[in-house]
Amino acid sequence: MFKTIFGKMLVIFISILIFSFSVTGMMLYIFLGNFVLGEKQDALKQSGDRINSLLKIYIENPENPAARLLFERILESYSSNTNSYVWIVDKNGYIAFAQPELPDIVKERLKSENGYVKLPDDRQYKKVMQGVQDNIREIGDFYGLFKDTGISWLTVEKPFKNTNSQGKEEVIAAVYLHTPIPELHKARTSVFKLFIIAVFISVFISILLVYIFSLKITSPLKEIRNASKIIAGGEFQKRLDIKSNDEIGELASSFNHMASALQNLEEMRRGFIANVSHELRTPMTSIRGFIEGILDGTIPAERHRDYLNIVKDETNRLNRLVNDLLDLARMEAGEVVLNYKEFDINELIRRCIIKLENLIVQKGLQFEASFEEEGMMVYADPDAIERVIINLVHNAVKFTPEGGKIKINTQNHKGKIYVSVKDSGIGISKEELELIWERFYKSDKSRGGDKTGTGLGLAIVKNIMNEHKQEIWVDSEQGEGTEFTFTLESLKK
C-alpha cells in the first residue's frame, strides 16, 4: 500500500488527522473539565450565598421549631438541586445541619462530643472561620474525611458573619457544600463521546475523499506511465488526452510536447541517415565504377586521365561532405566557440568576391555591390561570417543563369547591419522556403544544377547565425530570383 500514491496520501492524511484530533481532543478534554468544574463551583457559590441569607433569618428565631423545619427543608431543596451535601458548621467545627444524611463511611470519621458531630481535623474549618476569604474551594478527599469513598470531592466553604454585641462582624458559622467530582465528569464524558463519534465519522469521510481525489490524480499519472512505456518502445505517435488546468495538465502538455520532439528527432535521424547514405553512395559508386573500368580495360588508356579527374572531383566532393557534416555536428552540439572581433563587413565582402571572381566571370554574371557607408564596423566572428557570405554568393552564382545579375547590399538600421545577397536566378517556390534550412535538402530544380553541392551549406549558415544570436531570412519567387538577408551587431566608429 505504501508503494502507491493513494497509500502514501492516505497514511499522511490519516496521520495528520489523528495528530490534529488528538491535540484538539486533549485540549477539549481539559477545557471541558475546567469549564464544568467552574460552572459547578459558581452554582455552589450562588447556593451558598442564598443559604447564608436564609441562615441569617433562621438565627433570628432559633427556638422556633417551624423555622428550623423550614430551614431544613430549604437545605434539602438546595442539596437536591445542586446534587451536593449541605452542612452548616459552627466556628468550633460542630455540624449543626446536614442535608442529606451523611454516608456511614463519612460518619465513622466524624467525632462525637456531647451528642454533637464534629469535624475531626482543624484544617477542615479553621481557615474558613477566619473570614479572610468569602469563598474557599477544596478538591480531593477534604483532608481525609471522604477518603473511604474512593472518589474526589469538590467542596465550597462560605463563612457566615453576624454582628456581635459590640457592633462588629464576626464569623460564627460556615456553609459547606460537597459534591462528588465523578458527577461533574459525566457531563464532560458525554460531550467527549460525541467528539469521538465525530472523529470517527470525519476519518471515514476523509478516507473516502482521499480515495476519490487520489483517483483523479493517479488515473492521469497511470495514463502518462503507460504512454511513456509505449514511447520507450519506439512508437512516438502516442499522445495524451488529459484536459486539466493544474500541474497534471501541464505535465501532460509537456509530455505531448516531448513526444512530438522525439518523433521529429526520430524522423530527422532517419532522414539524416538516408540522406548521408545517398550522398555517400552516389560518389562512391561513381568512383568504384570508373576505377573498375580502368582496371579491367573497359576504359581505354587514352581516357584514363579524364576519368581519373572525375574520380578526383568525386573524392573532393566526399571530403567536403564529411567536413561539412563534422562542422554541422560541432555547431549543433555547441562545441564551436566563436571568436568575436571588430571588423569592417564591407571589406570582408570585397575579399569574398575576389575569392569567387573566377566563378562569376566564367558565367558572365553582372555583379553589383552597394554599401550605405564606406566602412561599416560589426562585432562578430569574421571567419564564420566569411563562410556565410561565400556560401550565399556561391549559391547565387550556381543558380543564376549566364548573363544574370547578382547584387550584394549593406545598410545600417537601428543599430543593426543588414547584409543582403540578391540574384536573378530560378527562385524558390513558397512551399520550399521553410525547407531550405534543413540538412541535405535540395529542391527538384536545384538538383540539376547542383552536382557538387552537399545540401549542408544553408544548414551551416543557419547555425552560424543562430550562434551569433542574429537573424537570417529569405525572400524568393520562382523565375524572379532569390534574396537572402542576415543581420549583424553594428559598432559605431
Contact 283, 310 (CB under 8 A): no
Contacts of 81 (CB under 8 A, 6+ apart): 47
pLDDT category at 309 given cuts 50, 70, 90 is confident
More confident residue, 158 or 29: 158
Q: Tell me what the mean pLDDT of segment 18-32 comes to.
A: 80
Taking each helix axis as running N to C, give the angle between helix 247-295 and helix 304-332, from 0 to 180 degrees, rounded to the nearest 10. Answer: 160
In this predicted structure, what is the pLDDT of residue 219? 78
Higher pLDDT pick, 47 / 456? 47
Higher pLDDT, 380 or 70: 380
Min mean pLDDT across 140-149, 162-171, 278-287, 423-432 is at 278-287
- CA 411 vs. chain centroid, Å, equals 50
Split at pLDDT 50, 70, 90, the class of 349 is very high
* Section 364-383 average pLDDT: 91
What per-residue confidence (pLDDT) applies to 8? 74
Of 232, 233, 251, nearest to 243 (Cα)?
Answer: 251
| CA proximity to 328, closest of 455, 204, 449 | 455
The tally of CA atoms less than 13 A away on the side-chain side of residue 47 is 29
Q: Is 435 helix (H, G, I), strand (E, B) or coil?
A: coil
What span, in angstroms and rounded, lies between the C-alpha atoms of 285 and 293? Answer: 12
In this prediction, residue 445 has a pLDDT band, given cuts at 50, 70 and 90, of very low
pLDDT of amino acid 2: 56
Mean pLDDT of the chain: 83
Q: In the predicted model, is pLDDT for residue 449 greater than 70?
A: no
- Report residue 264's pLDDT band, with 50, 70 and 90 as the boundaries: confident
pLDDT of 205 strictly over 50: yes
Describe the crossing of helices 382-398 and 345-355 by its angle, rounded to 10 degrees: 50
pLDDT band for position 417 (cuts 50, 70, 90): very high
pLDDT band at 420 (very low <50, low <70, confident <90, very high): very high
Q: Minimal CA–CA distance to 177: which of 58, 55, 79?
A: 79
Q: What is the pLDDT of residues 322-333, one digit of tens each?
A: 777 777 777 766
Please check the confidence at residue 89 and state whether its pLDDT lies above 90: yes
Q: Range with the lowest mean pLDDT among 172-176, 264-268, 409-413? A: 264-268
Which residues share a beta bridge with 367? 406
Residue 446 pLDDT exceeds 50: no
Position 444 pLDDT exceeds 60: no
Confidence of residue 33 (pLDDT cuts 50, 70, 90): confident
pLDDT of residue 252: 83
Average of per-residue pLDDT across 16-40: 80
Closest CA to 84 of 179, 184, 186, 185: 179
Do 479 and 404 meet the contact criterion of CB atoms below 8 Å apart? no
Q: How confident is the model at residue 448 (pLDDT cuts 50, 70, 90)?
A: very low
Which whole number is the average pLDDT over 24-50? 83
pLDDT at 485: 94
Q: If pLDDT is split at 50, 70 and 90, which confidence band does 377 have?
A: very high
Percentage with pLDDT > 70 across the chain:
92
Decide: helix, strand or coil at residue 65.
Answer: helix
Buried b (16+ CB within 10 A) or exposed e, 55-84: beebeeeeeeeeeeeebeebbeebbeebeb
pLDDT one-digit tens code per residue, 1-23? 556 666 777 778 778 878 888 88
**Segment 305-314 mean pLDDT:** 85
410 pLDDT tier (thresholds 50, 70, 90): very high
pTM: 0.48
* Residue range 98-114, pLDDT digits in tens: 998 877 888 888 888 77
The three-class DSSP label of residue 367 is strand
* Contact indicator for 420, 408 with CB cutoff of 8 Å: yes
Is the distance from CB of 141 to CB of 35 less than 8 angstroms? no
**What integer pLDDT is reported at residue 224 of this predicted model?**
80
Predicted local distance difference test score (pLDDT) of residue 277: 72
In angstroms, the CA 90 to CA 118 distance is 9
Q: Please state, in angstroms and rounded to a whole number, the distance separating the CA atoms of residues 44 and 83.
A: 10
How far does Cα 129 stand from its chain's mean position?
70
CA-based R_g, the chain, Å: 54
pLDDT value at residue 177: 94
CA 105 to chain CA centroid, nearest Å: 69
For position 279, what pLDDT does the model report?
66
Pairing of strands 169-180, 85-90: antiparallel
